[in-house]
Amino acid sequence: MAVLKEEKIYSDFVYWQRQVFDDVRLKEKLMALRQHEFALHRLQLRGKDISEEELANLRQMYATAREDAVIRSYLDAEYRFSKMMLDIQKIINNAVPVKGSGKPS
């Protein structure tokens, strides 16, 4: 964990996260966007189609949120952090053999 805390991508993410969540207005704007994203995602998981209108509404909410420099910086930092975590997960998955896969240990 200490190595992760020293990583610029992580420290940038934490910094911008604090900037957003310490400001009630920004936090509410971000949370509204996330709630809408999650609602659409839940519909997709249930096998329901998402209308073009709903997708356009989400894109508009996202564009409006990104007009704020702090939220834009947070979303960019969040993306970089998520990508880094996926890369770490891939490295771990490749290093740890899966039992029953037929591959030699």
Angle of helix 69-95 relative to helix 52-66, nearest 10 degrees, comes to: 110
User: Would the pLDDT of 1 be above 70?
Assistant: no
Distance of alpha carbon 36 from the chain centroid:
14
- Domain residue ranges in the chain: 6-90
Per-residue confidence at 97, pLDDT binned at 50, 70, 90? confident
Model confidence over 19-78: pLDDT tens digits? 999 999 999 999 999 999 999 999 999 999 999 999 999 999 999 999 999 999 999 999
| Pair 27, 21: CB distance under 8 Å | yes
